[in-house]
Amino acid sequence: MVIDKNKIQEINKKALSAHRRHFAATADFLTEKGIDVEKIITTIQEYNIAIPSWALGAGGTRFGRFGYGGEPGNLTQKIEDIGMIHALTNSAGAISLHIPWDIPEDAEATKKHAASLGIVFDAMNSNTFQDQKGQAYSYKYGSLCHVDKAVRDQAVAHNKAVIDHGIALGSKSLTVWLADGSNFPGQLNFRRALNNTLESLKEIYAHLPEDWKVFIEYKPYEPNFYSMVIQDWGTSSLLARELGPKAFTLVDLGHHLPNTNIEQIVATLMSRGLLGGFHFNDSKYGDDDLTVGAIKPYQLFLIFNELVDGMENNDANNPIPAWMIDASHNVKDPLEDLMQSIEAIETAYAKALLIDRKALEQAQLDNDITVAQNILKDAFNTDVRPLLTEARRRGGAAIDPITAYRAMEIRKELIAERGVNTTATGL
Ligand SMILES: [Mn+2]
């Protein structure tokens, strides 16, 4: 299913005059404060967030899974779904594939199909956290860290194959997330596990094309509950440093213990040129994978404050991070949920762009804590929705994506087209 862009314009008509008034008032107010409104709109217009191929169906929990109907049953349909999100938001022009769930039958045709919807291929994701049919060795006791070299070799070969699939699709990066770890004290020799992981990563790294990057994701616990081999940003960045200049750390918001100062991690990594990628989601307790901004929008804003500061004062030549939503949708329509996440990410980004950095620096140099805090609060409390709406409108997208999505009855059409009991591959 492909959205007729004329339909979006038709639906926009109803909301256009209210938007124009709201936007004009906001633009006036911000311009008077010395803010370059056009620059913010352009930045948001050019900003794209990758959607992972596994986020388009019902995620479920270990207790159960409740379908939505009309879920994409294959890679072509997953690309179509992201094409719809992109048509409605003008912000989802990239897909992040998971191998082996999304191996393209014909890479050239897949690439062409995605391009026709304005979508490029972002980071490729390998999977050594579960066993696949016909696989010679099990990952029950780890993959890249495994005590048996034959298992490690199999996991390395898989990652190399993922890189090869990515090359065919025009991707430029590989994300490695490992479930490797232990459930009980004594199960694993920490040093051996880390050394094995580094040696395996070195072999994968050697397979990367010249213009590729590898992102190393970390996670403190789950699925292993006593230890994870790559438990934190320190371990990830240590491995990245030992691997070489194409290796970076990837920060997933949900992969931290409660109350961790993630914005400081972001600043620290960027100051050393080591932040390669970002996975957005939100959480209250653990790796909850909730809609971005649903629980802690102020934290997200503080993170974007560091991202913007890091991109503007980039002494360490940190690359522009790869942005991706990594959430799971258990009770909401995934397409609506993803559009809510995009809105939350862009809201935090636009608010961070409002921060008066010169004034903030002066307040910091003066040790004027009250003013410094108020500069951040002032930006955070500003309503940037008219700027995001204007960015979408100029890009031919929807003034209100979810209203348009519902007005077009897209889920109903998807169910009619694909059926009620479809399950996205991999879920
Ligand atoms: Mn992630």
DSSP string, 255-297: SS-TT--HHHHHHHHHHTT-EEEEEE-B-SSSS--BPTTSS-H
Strands 322-325, 247-252: pairing is: unpaired
Spatial separation of the C-alpha atoms in residues 221 and 234, rounded to whole Å: 15
320 C-alpha to ligand 1 centroid (Å)? 18
25 C-alpha to ligand 1 centroid (Å)? 39
327 C-alpha to ligand 1 centroid (Å)? 8
195 C-alpha to ligand 1 centroid (Å)? 23
Distances from the Cα of 187 to the Cα of 142, 224, 227, 232, angstroms: 11, 11, 10, 20
- All residues with CB under 5 Å from ion ligand 1: 252, 279, 326
Query: What pLDDT is recorded for position 190?
Result: 98
Spatial separation of the C-alpha atoms in residues 411 and 395, rounded to whole Å: 23
Q: Which of 89, 91, 90, 86 is nearest to 114 (CA)?
A: 86
98 C-alpha to ligand 1 centroid (Å)? 12
42 C-alpha to ligand 1 centroid (Å)? 28
Spatial separation of the C-alpha atoms in residues 95 and 178, rounded to whole Å: 21
Which H or E run includes 227? Answer: strand 227-228
Spatial separation of the C-alpha atoms in residues 219 and 231, rounded to whole Å: 5
74 C-alpha to ligand 1 centroid (Å)? 22
Say whether the peptide bond before residue 386 is cis (omega within 30 degrees of 0): no
Paired tokens of 26: 């906001």
252 C-alpha to ligand 1 centroid (Å)? 5
Spatial separation of the C-alpha atoms in residues 366 and 116, rounded to whole Å: 53
**Angle 342-346-350 (CA atoms, 0-180°, nearest 5)?**
175
Spatial separation of the C-alpha atoms in residues 304 and 194, rounded to whole Å: 32
Distances from the Cα of 267 to the Cα of 30, 307, 309, 370, angstroms: 27, 7, 8, 22
Ramachandran angles phi, psi of 102, nearest 5°: -130, 45
List all residues 6 or more positions away from 203 whose beta carbon is below 8 Å from its beta carbon: 156, 160
Paired tokens of 362: 């002066």
Residue 134: CB atoms within 10 A of its CB come to 5
**Angle 78-286-321 (CA atoms, 0-180°, nearest 5)?**
55
E-only strand ranges, 8-155: 50-52, 94-96, 120-121, 124-125
125 C-alpha to ligand 1 centroid (Å)? 10
Paired tokens of 124: 């490729």
- Per residue of the chain (427 residues), what is the pLDDT tens digit? 889 999 999 999 999 999 999 999 999 999 999 999 999 999 999 999 999 999 998 888 888 888 889 999 999 999 999 999 999 999 999 999 999 999 999 999 999 999 999 999 999 999 999 999 999 999 999 999 999 999 999 999 999 999 999 999 999 999 999 999 999 999 999 999 999 999 999 999 999 999 999 999 999 999 999 999 999 999 999 999 999 999 999 999 999 999 999 999 999 999 999 999 999 999 999 999 999 999 999 999 999 999 999 999 999 999 999 999 999 988 999 999 999 999 999 999 999 999 999 999 999 999 999 999 999 999 999 999 999 999 999 999 999 999 999 999 999 999 999 998 887 766 6
19 C-alpha to ligand 1 centroid (Å)? 35
Identify any residues that bridge with 280 across adjacent strands, giving them in sequence order.
Answer: 325
218 C-alpha to ligand 1 centroid (Å)? 8
Residues recorded for the chain: 427
Which H or E run includes 252? Answer: strand 247-252
E-only strand ranges, 300-351: 322-325
30 C-alpha to ligand 1 centroid (Å)? 35
Say whether the peptide bond before residue 401 is cis (omega within 30 degrees of 0): no
Q: Which of 223, 184, 180 is nearest to 198 (CA)?
A: 180
Residue 378: CB atoms within 10 A of its CB come to 15
Query: What pLDDT is recorded for position 427?
Result: 66
Residue 260: CB atoms within 10 A of its CB come to 15
Paired tokens of 70: 């009309």
Are the beta carbons of 179 and 129 closer than 8 angstroms?
Answer: yes
HSE value, Cβ hemisphere, 13 Å, CA-based, for 221: 9
